[in-house]
Amino acid sequence: MHLSPIPALALALTFAGPAFAEDAPAKKPRDYKVVCATNSKDGSRAVQGTDLVIEAGDKVKDAVAVEGNVIIRKGAVVEDAVAIRGRVIVEAGAHVTGDAISLGGEVRIKDGAHVDGDAVALGGQLKLDKDGDVSGDKVSLSFMIGGKDMVRGIIEKALDDDMRCHILDDEDKDV
């Protein structure tokens, strides 16, 4: 007999819930915003604090946004698209040859868009339009308690609240 791990996961997250329910002191608004972007020699692009838009005709190896969205327009081709605390949006006519993944956000595959690999949303929703196509696995993991998504809370706790831009290129190995 094979037992499902879902009840054990639900119980563990239930006990972990009070740790995330603490009253946090009001944060002072920041008077600055970290915005970074880089392109690598292998055709990858990465940004932090803003959206990464891959335009028609662009061919990108990896598209990564930290605290921003990855938006893939019609006619663009991306190998893998990853958003951390953001969304991956694959518009009609766009093509992801690998995976579309969001940690702490949603993955949206619009009508006429195609993902050859997996579409994964952890701490958010996977939204697949009627004519959106995903060849691999379709995974969406959220766990709501009291209106809060516990998976998203775990992801946010795991990431540094005061994250700074540390995007390194191959030439920066000495740093």
pLDDT by position in tens, the chain (length 175)? 455 555 554 444 444 555 445 555 555 554 445 466 777 778 899 998 899 999 999 999 999 998 899 999 999 999 999 999 899 999 999 999 999 999 988 999 999 999 999 999 988 899 999 999 999 999 998 877 887 777 767 766 665 554 554 444 444 444 4
115 in a domain, yes or no?
yes
Q: Give me the domain span that covers residue 125.
A: 33-161
Q: What is the CATH number of the domain that holds 136?
A: 2.160.20
Report yes or no: 124 and 87 within 8 Å, Cβ to Cβ. Answer: yes
Q: Rounded to two decimals, what is the model's pTM?
A: 0.69
20 in a domain, yes or no?
no
**Per-residue model confidence (pLDDT) at position 145:** 80
DSSP state of 8: H
17 in a domain, yes or no?
no
CA 112 to each of CA 8, 48, 63, 91, 115: distance values in angstroms, whole numbers, following the listed order: 39, 28, 20, 8, 10
